[in-house]
Amino acid sequence: MRGLTASLTIIIIGILWAIPLYVLIIGSFKNISEVLTTPIFLPSERPDFYTLLKTGSSMTDPLINTIIEVIPAAFISTILGSLSAYAFHRFTSKIKDIILIIIAIATYIPYQSIMVPLAIFIRSLGLYDTVWGVLIAFIILYIPIASLLMTIFMSSVPRDLIHAAEVDGASEFTIFRRVVLPILGPGFTSTVVFLVIQAWNNFFVPLILVRGYEKHVTLKVFSYIGQSGNLYNEMFSAALIASLPPLIIFISMGRYFIRGLLTLGMGGR
């Protein structure tokens, strides 16, 4: 009986989640006349790939730009985050506690509230309206959360291992690279995946830091919202294409991602 209730609950929640996805997918396969005449929940009678191909070709540049911004940003933030997490793990002092608190605050502050100074900073670097500006902004925004996540993962690294490496004569950098980082593998991967998805879906940061619609997929999707009525088949096609890369990353890395989350759930053990 309890098993049945649980299954039913899961099915209902699953359906609720699937509805928008369903609408998105069937919408992408409608042509212009169907969009205007058929109800939004009804699938097309003659699926039409033209819209998907048309938006797909115009999505190439935004996709490449987004990859250039997102992948390095996620990696660099996570590497810097794990370096700081290692430093926290190694050294105990009052300053460490203060820095950790600052990081926690930085993580929970809504990033919109620091966008103006960040935009001024990016402009002063001469990187306004470039993918590099967005890339640097992402790194700055994601370092705190990366540090925090990696600090939690770091607590699963036995201190004895680090001490053993020290006695074995390894330098701090060697200890980090040869002993700590391999053990952190799943945690590192899940942090990277998390940040890739976060940055990929981010709309506000590119909106402020670049002109036009070509430098981030979310902007491109947004560009299909017309001022006088929406052609939702094109918008849905664009959204479908835009959401595929993070989906692929999540599915291929999901195993590590979940293992990492489990580590978090067990208090980093």
Of 42, 102, 164, 225, the one binding another protein (CB under 8 A) is 164
Least Å distance, CB 155 to another protein, is: 16
The window from 106-114, 167-175, 214-222, 251-259 that contacts another protein (CB under 8 A) reads: 167-175
User: By CB under 8 A, what part of segment 140-159 binds another protein?
Assistant: 158
Q: What is the DSSP letter of 200?
A: H
The size of the interface with another protein (CB under 8 A), counted in residues, is 17
Q: What is the DSSP letter of 113?
A: G
Q: Which is nearer to another protein, 115 or 170 (CB)?
A: 170
Quickly list H helices, 91-209.
94-108, 115-124, 131-154, 159-167, 172-174, 181-200, 204-209
**CA quadruple 217, 223, 225, 229: dihedral sign:** negative
Say whether residue 239 binds another protein (CB under 8 A): no
Q: Are the C-beta atoms of 224 and 234 separated by less than 8 Å?
A: yes
Q: Which is nearer to another protein, 155 or 223 (CB)?
A: 155
Residue 245 to residues 63, 67, 84, 231: CA-CA distances in angstroms? 9, 9, 29, 23
Q: Which is nearer to another protein, 95 or 167 (CB)?
A: 167
H helix or E strand, kind and range, residue 234:
helix 232-265
Q: Which is nearer to another protein, 157 or 192 (CB)?
A: 157
Say whether residue 160 binds another protein (CB under 8 A): yes
CA distance 9 to 258: 22
Of 140, 141, 154, 165, the one binding another protein (CB under 8 A) is 165
Q: Which is nearer to another protein, 244 or 262 (CB)?
A: 262
Q: Which is nearer to another protein, 106 or 170 (CB)?
A: 170
CA distance 220 to 203: 10
Of 80, 166, 214, 261, the one binding another protein (CB under 8 A) is 166
Cα 201 to the chain's mean position, in Å?
6
**CA quadruple 146, 147, 153, 158: dihedral sign:** positive
Q: Are the C-beta atoms of 237 and 49 separated by less than 8 Å?
A: no
Annotate each residue in 172-211 with x if it binds another protein (CB under 8 A) or - if it does not, as one string: --x---xx--xx----------------------------
Least Å distance, CB 162 to another protein, is: 9
Q: Which residues of this protein are in contact with another protein, per CB under 8 A?
A: 158, 160-161, 163-171, 174, 178-179, 182-183
